[in-house]
Amino acid sequence: MSVGTALPLASDGATSRGAAGGTRTHCPYCSLQCGMTLVGQRRTTVEPWTEFPVNEGALCRKGWSATGLLGHRERLTTPMVRDRSTGEWSGVTWDEALDLVARRLREVQAGHGPDAVAVFGGGGLTNEKAYQLGKFARVALGTSQIDYNGRWCMSSAASASTRAFGIDRGLPFPLADVEQADVVVLVGSNLAETMPPAARHLDRARENGAQVVVIDPRRTATAERADVVLQPVPGTDLALALGVLHLLIAGGHVDEAYVAGRTTGFEAVRESAAAWWPERVERVTGVAASELRALADLLADRERVMVLTARGAEQHAQGSDTVLAWIDVALALGMPGRQYAGYGCLTGQGNGQGGREHGQKADQLPGYRMIDDPAARAHVAAVWGVEPDSLPGRGRSAYELLDALGTPGGPRAMLVHGSNIVVSAPRATHVQERLEALDLLVVCDLVMSETAALADVVLPVTQWAEETGTMTNLEGRVILRQQARPAPEGVRSDLDVIAGLAARLGSPIDFSTDPEEVFAELGRASAGGKADYAGITYDRIRAEHGVFWPCPSPGHPGTPRLFADSFATPDGRARFHAVDHRGPAEVVDADYPVHLTTGRVLAQYQSGAQTRRIADLPDDGAFAEMHPLLAGRLGVADGMPVTVRTRRGEIRVPARVTTTIRPDTVFVPFHWLGVNRLVNDALDPASRMPEFKVCAARVEAA
Ligand code: SF4
């Protein structure tokens, strides 16, 4: 299919087509990592890859149009340096750019110490890049200050899964298992719009007789294909889970044998859930007690219940506890480890899973090892050929890192790879001020993103179809994105940038620029860790449609399903956690009486740096979705401009009036510069996830 050729779209935006020749690779965007075939090197077109089991040839419109960014007129192909006094950009050679960056980094570190330089990565980077970035920070720079934007995406579910199961893999089963479930509960997920090809599995589940439950303040496209829809007040999913637990316990529906044999900690949960009777839950969540009872009855009755959370439940200051409460529900029913049942998180970014496994997170080393574990440090240091004591310790989490930029004791220089921070960070105006306070900001990107525009040096790097590397999708399936065409002249891979800087900084070890070689080293560094890739090779991935980790040896088949016999905790048992509802960090009041929530739309992806530049994707800009009752109170009609104001700023956007949202809530998508300036930067105490999903706002006719 040529770029932009209109295919007949199904109502969910996903399409299927037959097989074709070309290079088998994967979509550059979300965590589904749909398989696709790219044909032609000069004029590259997308064809389906029907054998790839996750999407079976179907793609959403973002996938079909992804080649629109190859050869785009805004593509950067020359390193650029900005003169701060005039604001003017000039093109320089790669040697000049890398020499300049290395010299300035050395100066900053000589004056202020190793931690004065920070590195900020992204959940869209390949595993190889994420791994090299972590190694580069700890060895070539010697800094502890590295984290990444995935901290803002899935970290609450990661934290909760680790505490409950001893391991964090988005889905502990293949996505297609959804089709065999009896009940699928989606908490805060709009997968029909964010990853339309995944909705086929949900539809097949319903064809097989399953009931689908959607819990979301908005009646989304996903809710339209559900049997039960609950629309709680934003920020109250935890109370809802406690209410379900209360009813399951009161009704005698707990799987006592499972709880006794495979878990610990249930008695404390029994006590805490006792305080959440249905009428109290109704007062907090706005969900009628009768609806809550119906949901509990539905879950109590079925053999195979699957609970899946996503950002709607997770991006809160109590996001980790919310996920723990839903895991408690799944454990009370005896589901985790049972076939076609259990708990899972639908990760968001393309490599949201792999990006948090191999060392670009402030507290981690490759293989999902913790950086303050002496054995982990010794293992990884041996693979890298350095002394364990030379590795720095734990650094700041993503938002805390950005908040500290340019402050006394904070980093004074930063390298950014694969992240458009100015659009995607919470309290973005403040974050932009912190970026502007740096002595040196270096951004590696494809285009002049809003963040690159603030940099002192911008380095043009390769994108998906111009490079090879692995990603780990939402199922824990390691897949291979293969290069389909040469990179434009003047563009280099992030791996080249890392190696070039490491050499100039006098790194004690070399950094390979060959992705397959880097992946083999990543496998050795991960060996024995929780996310063990030691048995995975590029050839195996090609032959097997991806390999599920853990895969500790070449003869190991990989692990599509976890927890069948035991959990990854020291005693093999899952942990219940007694948690309580605290509510959002910022509650509505007379001055700010409306809940503001944010999210995605079908045609755009994350900060929009890629998708907003693709002509075949509609770009209508941000809008404020509101109920007719709210619009009526404000005197606003559909399409009229409104001002959305919070304690951190205001934006002006057109109103979109619809009955599908709660009357006390306004929704603004986050793909455009604006709404993240309004959201609250309160952090979850365990995951350090900011509270993107709810804050108090005032809306007025503009
Ligand atoms: Fe698939 Fe996600 Fe790409 Fe759409 S954006 S084609 S759902 S990987």
pLDDT for position 7: 32
Write the pLDDT tens digit of every residue in 256-310.
999 999 999 999 999 999 999 999 999 999 999 999 999 999 999 899 999 999 9
Is the CB–ligand 1 distance for residue 62 below 6 Å?
A: yes
- CA 29 / ligand 1 centre spacing (Å): 6
pLDDT band with cut points at 50, 70 and 90 for residue 650 = very high
The answer to whether the beta carbons of residues 475 and 170 sit under 8 Å apart is yes
Closest CA to 297 of 358, 237, 253, 243: 253
Only one residue has tokens 């089963």, namely 173
pLDDT for position 317: 85
Write the pLDDT tens digit of every residue in 587-600.
999 999 999 998 87
- CA 57 / ligand 1 centre spacing (Å): 11
The answer to whether the beta carbons of residues 353 and 472 sit under 8 Å apart is yes
Atom number in ligand 1 closest to CA 198 = 7
Q: What is the mean pLDDT of residues 487-502?
A: 97
Q: Whose CA is nearest to atom 7 of ligand 1?
A: 195
Distance separating alpha carbons of residues 45 and 50, to the nearest angstrom:
16
Query: What's the mean per-residue pLDDT of the chain?
Result: 92
551, amino acid identity: C
Kindly calculate the radius of gyration of the chain based on its CA atoms and give it in whole angstroms.
24
pLDDT for position 15: 39
Is the CB–ligand 1 distance for residue 61 below 6 Å?
A: no
Write the pLDDT tens digit of every residue in 355-375.
889 999 999 999 999 999 999
Identify which has the larger pLDDT, 451 or 5.
451
Please spell the DSSP secondary structure of 374-398, one letter per residue. Answer: HHHHHHHHHHHTS-GGGS------H
The answer to whether the beta carbons of residues 617 and 28 sit under 8 Å apart is no
Out of 16, 34, 479, mutate this one to test ligand 1's pocket (max ligand atoms within 8 Å of CB): namely 34
Q: What is the pTM of this model?
A: 0.91
Is the CB–ligand 1 distance for residue 323 below 6 Å?
A: no
Tokens standing for 158?
């990661």
Top mean-pLDDT range of 21-25, 188-192, 484-488, 517-521: 517-521
Atom number in ligand 1 closest to CA 350 = 8
The answer to whether the beta carbons of residues 188 and 435 sit under 8 Å apart is no
Write the pLDDT tens digit of every residue in 217-252.
989 999 999 999 999 999 999 999 999 999 999 999
pLDDT band with cut points at 50, 70 and 90 for residue 21 = low
Is the CB–ligand 1 distance for residue 32 below 6 Å?
A: yes
